[in-house]
Structure 1
Amino acid sequence: ERVAVARRGRGSVVGTLTVNVVGSAVLGVLLGLRDVSPAVTALVGTGFCGTLTTFSTYGNDVVRLVEERAVGRALAYLAGTLALGLGAAAAGYLLIR
């Protein structure tokens, strides 16, 4: 995220959005694989994807935007992250199936 902050300024949420969408896509691919044991799915899903993505930073970004009175941006970020994350997970799942 340091790179995003350096390029776009302190108020940027691009880095967090990017890792969360990528993590969702990876999780979608993982869930679409047919011959993966539940243990591996749990390990990679919670271990790798959970480590890659960052819900706490996402929540902090939303609170910061609201505190900065950028409520419209906060709502767009909330909705955009949800839509892009679900879309990326679905695309990853369908791509591997």
Structure 2
Amino acid sequence: MTDALLVALGAAVGAPLRYLTDRAIQARTPGSFPWGTLTVNVVGSLVLGVVTGATLAGADQRWQTLLGTGLCGALTTYSTFSYETLRLAETGARRQAAANAAVSVGAGLGALCLGLACANALLG
């Protein structure tokens, strides 16, 4: 199977998963804070860490292409994170905007490191 097809298959799962997860979480949380986007970005970072760790431990590179590039590329969304942070700031919710930026970056990096550590513990 070609790399392009692997990316397309992963994205075909990741994009609707992002949309459905975001809508489900936003429908259950009050206020304007973008909990749905935060959730998909942190989960995607965790999955990317596990997949990258597995690839570094010798797993077939096609898993990185399918799940890392395809699934996580479509699941996570830097553009929506940026837009929602800007929207919060423009509407006067500057503290929420700053919190969104700090928590998104910190939790995303933490989740990536946790995923790498889990893969290393299981496969390393």
TM-score normalized with structure 1 length: 0.88
Cα RMSD of the aligned pairs, angstroms, is: 1.6
Equivalent of residue 53 in structure 2, options 23, 32, 39: 32
* Moved segments of 4+, more than 4 Å: none
The alignment status of 1:2 with 2:23, answered yes or no, reads yes
Percent same amino acid among aligned pairs? Answer: 42
Equivalent of residue 35 in structure 2, options 8, 14, 19: 14
SS in 2 for 1:59: helix
CA contact (8 A) 1:19 1:53 kept: yes
CA contact (8 A) 2:38 2:104 kept: yes
TM-score normalized with structure 2 length: 0.70
CA contact (8 A) 1:4 1:12 kept: no
The aligned length equals: 97
Q: Which has the higher contact order (CA 8 A, sep 6+)?
A: 1
Could you tell me which runs of 5 or more consecutive residues in structure 1 were left unpaired when the two chains were aligned.
Answer: none
Residue of structure 2 in register with 1:66 after alignment: 89
Residue of structure 1 in register with 2:78 after alignment: 55
Could you tell me which runs of 5 or more consecutive residues in structure 2 were left unpaired when the two chains were aligned.
Answer: 1-21
